[in-house]
Amino acid sequence: MRSRARYAAFGLTGALAGVPLATAPALADPAEIPAQTASASHARAGHGHVVVERGGRARSVRFTAARDGEAVIGFDASAPGVSWARAGAESAVVSLAVDGRHVTDLVVTSSEPTPRSLGLGRVRRGGHTVTLRFARGSAAAARRVVLARTRVRTPKADQIALRHAPVVVGRTGGPLGDPYQNATTDTPLIAWHESRPAAAPGHRVLEYSVVWSNEDGGTDSPALMARWGRTTDIEWVYRVEVDAAGRRVEGTGVYQAPQHMTLKFTGRYEGDHPVLQTCTQNNNMCDVITPRSPLRFLPDASRTRPADRAREVVMDREPWTYRVMAQEMLREGKVEKPSDPRTRAVGDQRAYLFVEFAKRTGAATGMGSAPGVTLGVRLKSDPSRLFRSDHGEAAVSIDRDGAVATTVELPEGTAIGDVASVEAIRQPVGLGDNGAPSTVTAVNRGFFLDRAYLPHRSAITWNGSVTLTPSAPSAVLWRP
């Protein structure tokens, strides 16, 4: 497991502890850490340490909720013999129930301890029991799951966000036709919410998003790397208006449906949790649940993100998500071997510079396609050669504004010390050029993945303002 200091370099101490960064301070309040006791059914495991075995008895953790409200469970999860990179060893699945009610499943993708945090739904003040069972869908190589530093809390903060978080039922259709397919592909990893004022005074709109390990359909992998800076799939799932007291405003719930349509939610609620199902190969939702849906996920959605950062920052705060992302690409044969930055195909993801930058587009001065921005990298060994994030394919240049993420493929073995410059290039995304200027104002981070597919410390940042025009289409953003 990576050291605490390594994650602290990203400001990730709270995330390493399995506690969302936004709620980490609440741990100082004893009321936020309900007492936990191991039942006799897992007496072999120490306090806060639970081992769930294939063919073994269910284990249980008792906790006392200090107040009525949404509960969250956290732990460092590992499964010896499991690797998301190997067919037949992809994951171990643990089913979690609260007081006998199935609430969520956990897909454990690694033998390395990984910080995870899951919602448990609403509980009443007093004593409760979480029951954990080794579940169907686990890979043949999976024999047991170790949940270290297990703790349950009912935080004062984030109750409204937790209360309305969607339950995501696993995908059962598609080419695989496997009701347990999310244990081997496109598994939900983490979730977060965003909040903005609604039209009604005192009301807010909550929007929930999920990061999946990949998408089996939709945008292809090379375009994901160029336009989004990752091969995970990040989608908003559910949006709802709440009043000043945090109550759901009836009729305001909507969800992202197939073809990325926004539809009114007419499905079933568990309390205020809408129940949705992943029903497409690119992880869009349906509000009608198929009868044979054994897997369900209630990730801890109390996380949020800074408004001026790209969505990918939520992955930066949970570095293990990059490892799962890369391993799925390897196992599914989506990685070119050997890597070649001259081709469009995705190579070894450790050979990519992962960059987040901020941009805005000005007013058009004519007819034609809007400009995007592509990043270019030159290396000290051959500064005449420019490696581009779009691989020369104009359509995948980034035309959306705000903070955005991309990657630039470089020769295998390239390190930060080999980089001579990072440049911004104005690139119209289609036919013609509407003449609009593109202004780049920041590079928020730039890193490579290490041998274990975890992010190195960010070593590239820049703040300023460069405006790219048809007559001056490129500019250097960063030099060492």
CA distance 275 to 273: 6
| Residue 31 reports pLDDT greater than 70 | no
Residue identified by tokens 């806060």 is 48
CA distance 21 to 302: 9
Q: Are 479 and 423 in contact (CB under 8 A)?
A: no
CA distance 108 to 48: 18
Of the candidates 351, 355, 337, which has an alpha carbon nearest to the alpha carbon of residue 411?
Answer: 351
The arrangement of strands across the sheet holding 114-123 comes to: 50-53, 144-153, 69-78, 114-123
CA distance 105 to 118: 9
pLDDT tens digit sequence for 237-259: 999 999 999 999 999 999 999 99
Of the candidates 457, 414, 448, which has an alpha carbon nearest to the alpha carbon of residue 2?
Answer: 457
Of the candidates 217, 204, 289, which has an alpha carbon nearest to the alpha carbon of residue 247?
Answer: 204
Res. 420 pLDDT band, cuts 50 70 90 = very high
Question: Per-residue DSSP letters for 127-159?
Answer: EEEEEEEE-TT--TT--EEEEEEEEEE--STTH
| Residue 92 reports pLDDT greater than 90 | yes
Q: What are the respective helix, strand and coil percentages of the chain, to the nearest 5? A: 15, 40, 45
If you average pLDDT over residues 39-55, what whole number do you get? 64
How many CA atoms lie less than 13 Å away from 275 in the CB half-sphere? 16
Mean pLDDT of the chain: 91
How many CA atoms lie less than 13 Å away from 102 in the CB half-sphere? 12
Angle value at C-alpha 333, between 330 and 337, nearest 5 degrees: 80
CA distance 49 to 35: 14
What is the SS3 assignment for 374?
strand
| Residue 14 reports pLDDT greater than 60 | no
Q: What are the structural domains, with CATH classification, of the chain? A: 1-155 (2.60.120.260), 157-334 (no CATH), 335-478 (2.60.60.20)
Q: Are 202 and 180 in contact (CB under 8 A)?
A: no
pLDDT tens digit sequence for 126-153: 999 999 999 999 999 999 999 999 999 9
| Residue 45 reports pLDDT greater than 90 | no
DSSP state of 110: B
Torsion of CA 100, 102, 104, 106, to 10 degrees: 80
Res. 407 pLDDT band, cuts 50 70 90 = very high
What is the SS3 assignment for 476?
strand
Expressed in angstroms, the distance from the first to the final Cα of the chain is: 31
Determine the pLDDT at residue 291. 84
Determine the pLDDT at residue 47. 53
pLDDT tens digit sequence for 60-74: 999 999 999 999 999
| Residue 18 reports pLDDT greater than 80 | no
The arrangement of strands across the sheet holding 352-361 comes to: 402-409, 352-361, 438-447, 462-468
The lowest-confidence range among 10-24, 187-201, 296-310, 370-384 is 10-24
Res. 12 pLDDT band, cuts 50 70 90 = very low
CA distance 350 to 37: 42
Q: Are 377 and 410 in contact (CB under 8 A)?
A: yes
Question: What share of the chain in percent tops pLDDT 70?
Answer: 90
Show the DSSP H helices in 177-304 as ranges: 221-228
| H/E segment holding residue 4 | helix 4-8
pLDDT tens digit sequence for 312-331: 999 999 999 999 999 999 99
| Residue 232 reports pLDDT greater than 80 | yes
pLDDT tens digit sequence for 146-175: 999 999 999 999 999 999 999 999 999 999
pLDDT tens digit sequence for 440-464: 999 999 999 999 999 999 999 999 9
Q: Are 91 and 108 in contact (CB under 8 A)?
A: yes
Q: Are 422 and 380 in contact (CB under 8 A)?
A: no
Q: What is the pTM of this model?
A: 0.90
Res. 20 pLDDT band, cuts 50 70 90 = very low
| Residue 268, amino acid | R
Q: Are 130 and 97 in contact (CB under 8 A)?
A: yes
Res. 417 pLDDT band, cuts 50 70 90 = very high
Determine the pLDDT at residue 254. 98
| Residue 26 reports pLDDT greater than 60 | no
CA distance 45 to 39: 10
Residues β-bridged to residue 402: 359
Determine the pLDDT at residue 48. 82
Res. 44 pLDDT band, cuts 50 70 90 = very low
**Count of beta carbons in the 10 Å neighbourhood of residue 257:** 18
pLDDT tens digit sequence for 350-386: 999 999 999 999 999 999 999 999 999 999 999 999 9
| H/E segment holding residue 320 | helix 320-331
Q: How far from chain centre, in Å, is Cα 205? A: 21
Of the candidates 446, 166, 452, 176, which has an alpha carbon nearest to the alpha carbon of residue 316?
Answer: 446
If you average pLDDT over residues 386-402, what whole number do you get? 98
- Dump strand ranges (E) for 391-461: 402-409, 419-428, 438-447
